Structure 1
Amino acid sequence: VCSEYWNRRTFMAKLLQNMGATVAGTTVSDMMDNIVDTLKRKESPLIVLDEADKLSDQVLYFFISLYNQLEDQCGIILTATSNLKARIEKGLRLNRKGYAEIYSRIGRKFVELPLPNSEDVAAVCVANGVSDTKAINKVIDESDGDLRRVKRSVWAMLKGGAQ
C-alpha cells in the first residue's frame, strides 16, 4: 500500500521489505538491482502497487524502470482511485515528463472496476465466518459497496458473537 510521503528510497525499501529481502545500507541503485534480480528468479511474480495515486511523480517514474527491466517476466498492477486516471490524462495533455511512458506501459487504457455488489459482500462475509443470512443482509445494507465498511461490520459481528 503506497503512501504520499514516500520518497524513492522509501518506495524501494518498502518493495524489498514486502519481497522479504533486506534493505540495510544499500543505495537506491543497489535496491533496484536487488528487486529486479530477485523478481527475475521468481516464477510468475506480481507486483501490486495499491493506492498508486498517492505516489509522487519521482516515485511513480520507478514504475517505468521496473516495467522496462521486468517486461514479460513480472506482472505489475497499479490500483488507485479515479485520481490516478485524471492525473495521467492531465500529464498527457500537458506533455509532462514520464506520463506518455506510463500511459504506454499500462496499455493506453484504464480498467475501472465496479463497486462490490451484494453477492460480493455476502461472499466476503461467508469467507470471514459470518454465515447467518440476517447478519449478511445487515452488512450488505450498511456497507453501501464499501469494503472497509464490510470489514468493520464483519469484525464487529465476530467480536460480538453474532454470526
Structure 2
Amino acid sequence: MPSFDIVSEIEMHEVTNAVDQAKRDLGNRWDFKNVEAGIELEDKRLTLSAEQEFQLEQLVEMMRMAFAKRNIDSRALSEDGESKAGKLVKQHFALKQGIETDMAKKIVKMIKDKKMKVQASIQGDKVRVTGKKRDDLQEAIAMLREAELDIPLQFNNFRD
C-alpha cells in the first residue's frame, strides 16, 4: 500500500552555512562598520546581537535572506525572546524541528475533513499517510502545500 511521511526538518549543515553567509554579509555592510554586532549558533538556538533595535532588525532580515538563499524555510525560526546585556540588544531564536502533537492532529483533521481516500496517523514527530492509489497521496500532498500552516513541511519516504 503506497504511503509517505509528513515531517518538519531542517538540515543543520545548511543552517550553519546560512549563519556563516550572514556573518560574511555582516562584515561587508558599511552600516555595520565599527558596530558591535554578531550572530551565534549554539545547538538549535540562534542569537543575534546588535547595539540598537534598528540594527537588530536589519540583522534579523539578513539572517532570513541567508536562510532563503539556502532554501531553508524561515518559518523554522521561532522567536524565543529578547534581552538586553550591557549596551547590546539580543534576539533569541529557536530552530523548530519535528511536528508537535497539536499540529499533527490539525494535519490529520484537515485530511479527514477533505474526505480523501487516504488515512493519516501520527507517529512520534511525523505523520504517516497511506492510501490505495498514488494519485490520492499526491492529492493529499497538494492540499497540504496549499494550506497556510505556520511550520515548514517536507514529504519524504514515499513508497509504492
User: What TM-score do you get using the length of structure 1 for normalisation?
Assistant: 0.28
Greater strand content:
2
User: What TM-score do you get using the length of structure 2 for normalisation?
Assistant: 0.28
Greater helix content:
1
Question: RCO (CA 8 Å, sep 6+): is it higher in 1 or 2?
Answer: 2
